[in-house]
Amino acid sequence: MATIILGVCGSIAAYKAADVASRLVKLGHEVHCVCTPTALQFVTPLTLMTLSRNPVITTFEEETGSWVPVHIDLAQRADVLAIVPASANTMACMAHGMAPNALTSLYLANRAPVLIFPAMNGNMWNHPATQQNASDLLARPSHRIIGPDDAGMLACGVEGQGRLVPVERIVDEILSELAAR
C-alpha cells in the first residue's frame, strides 16, 4: 500500500488528524505523522503514534536513528503529503519556502503530491495574506487545497467559513490522489 505523510498543524481541528490516521491504517496504508510544535498543544504524539503505528516526528532532535534525517527519508518515500489541518502559519511557511520545523522542512524535500486541508478562523482564512499564500501554493504542480468548509460554527464561537472539511472527505481525497497516481 501507500506511504502517507500526515502533517499536523496547530489548530483545534488537530484532533481530527488522529481519526484520519486511524482510518488510513485500517485501509492498509503506512502512515507517518509529522507535527508542528503548536500541534502538540492540541493532540499528543502518543495518540498519533498509537493510531498510525509509527513514531511521530515533532523536532529535529528526534531524528537520531539513522544517518539519513527522518524528515528527508519520509519525504523521499512519500506517495502523498497531506496537511491535516493546515494552519495559516504553516501555509505561509510553505508558500514562502521557510522551514522552521520538521514538517516544513519535510515539505521542501517532498516531491509527492501535496493535499492541504485548511482549518482556521474565517477572518484568518479570508485575510489577503492567507489568500495570496493559498494562491501561490495552488500554482505549484501537484498541490491542492481542499476546504475550508464554507459554513458552520467555529471553535472561536463565530459562524462562518474556516472549519476543516469532514474526515470522510479528507480520507476520500487522499485515496483519490493515490488512485490517480
Distance set, CA 134 to CA 55, 62, 158, 177 (Å): 30, 30, 22, 19
Helix (H) or strand (E) holding 17: helix 15-26
Please list the active-site residues.
156
Q: Which residues of 22-32 are buried (b: 16+ CB within 10 A; e: fewer)?
A: bbbbeeebbbb
Residue with cell 537520531: 64
